[in-house]
Amino acid sequence: MLEGKSILVTGGTGSFGNAFVPMTLAKYNPKRIVIYSRDEMKQWEMAKKFQNDPRVRFFIGDVRDKERLYRALDGVEFVVHAAATKIVPTAEYNPFECVKTNINGAMNLIDACIDRKIRRVVALSTDKASSPVNLYGATKLASDKLFVSGNAYAGGHDTRFAVVRYGNVMGSRGSVIPFFLSIRDKGELPITDERMTRFMISLEQGVELVWHAFSDMEGGEIYVKKIPSMKVSDLARAVAPEARQKIVGIRPGEKLHEQMIGEEDAHYTFEYPEHFKILPAINNWYETSERIKDGVRVPEGFSYTSDNNKDWMSVEALQAWISANRDKIGAI
């Protein structure tokens, strides 16, 4: 699918881009991967890792700037949309800025991709977009809806859009694992609620889900990877077994448990060995065999939440993952 192709990654200097680029270069040997982002320092740091690889290009730009997107998309065939304002408290205190990037930026990209005749676009989403309680989740829900409906908006154009939905990305910069590692020597870790659970996904799994979406999509699908859950208190025990856990209470915009698929989406959701697909309700696309393929519709009332998950990550499994990935944790 991506062999010899030109790919652009918005927000490509983030955790996802730093995993996607080397993995995709190694597996598919694309013609080029364009990193589109607005942070020149992050681009400079990332460029040093690929300075001898002519397939990797860098393009300063913001998804809020439609004209710049048009220029960056010249000759591109595939797009991964990873750009977002995603820190929950930041979004709560800077709501206009979050909307400009996560919603207006999505609209700009959809328009530009259709006009530039991009073949396939996969947008990254989050469990916080399912029944959102914070502004970040609400903007990502709106973004998801825009990318799904973009397939109808494209009209007679061949551009197709899909979404992949993630949980907590293990070890990514600013996430809970590097935070706990940075303060564990103090002997105390803050826990919002001892009942709190989260989905756990590695960056490598996230990249592989994007690859799968590119190869499988007909347009409008939301792909949800089957991944384990973990109690945040167990996560803390894995990082610092001897540390005391201090209960600090749920912060504004937080849920006790995260949700990937809500009951309202069950009618449109199909199950596969390693993932679920939420198919688009518009135009009765959820009934089309080319989108369903070999999927099995989930039962009415089905939901996929971090507390009703069948798969759980043990303390020992997380400790083994931390040991194997210590050099990467918090670095990107």
Residue 98 has pLDDT above 70, yes or no: yes
277 is catalytic: no
- The mean pLDDT of 87-106, rounded to a whole number, is 95
Dump pLDDT digits (tens) for 192-221: 999 999 999 999 999 999 999 999 999 999
214's CB contacts (< 8 A; 6+ apart) are: 1, 2, 78, 120, 122
pLDDT of residue 312: 97
Is 214:97 a contact under the CB 8 Å cutoff? no
The first and second tokens of residue 78, run together, are: 């595939």
- The mean pLDDT of 51-72, rounded to a whole number, is 97
pLDDT of residue 252: 79
Question: Mean pLDDT of all residues in the chain?
Answer: 95
Which has more pLDDT, 211 or 173?
211
Do β-strands 259-261 and 304-305 pair in parallel, antiparallel, or remain unpaired? antiparallel
pLDDT of residue 112: 98
Cα–Cα distance for residue pair 270/272, rounded to 1 Å: 7
pLDDT of residue 168: 87
Confidence of residue 173 (pLDDT cuts 50, 70, 90): confident
Confidence of residue 161 (pLDDT cuts 50, 70, 90): very high
Task: Spell out the CATH class of 6-324.
Answer: alpha beta
Which has more pLDDT, 163 or 332?
163
User: Given 5, 86, 128, 255, which residue is catalytic?
Assistant: 128
* Dihedral sign from CA coordinates of 16, 225, 234, 259: positive
| Domains of the chain by residue range | 6-324
Dump pLDDT digits (tens) for 133-154: 999 999 999 999 999 999 999 9
pLDDT of residue 254: 87
Residue 163 has pLDDT above 70, yes or no: yes
- Report H helices in 273-312: 289-292
- Report H helices in 116-231: 135-153, 176-183, 203-216
The first and second tokens of residue 202, run together, are: 């590695």
**Counting beta carbons within 10 angstroms of the beta carbon of residue 214, is it exposed (0 to 12), middle (13 to 18) or buried (19 or more)?**
buried
Cα–Cα distance for residue pair 287/294, rounded to 1 Å: 13
Is 59:35 a contact under the CB 8 Å cutoff? yes
pLDDT of residue 320: 96
Cα–Cα distance for residue pair 179/173, rounded to 1 Å: 9
pLDDT of residue 331: 64
Confidence of residue 323 (pLDDT cuts 50, 70, 90): very high
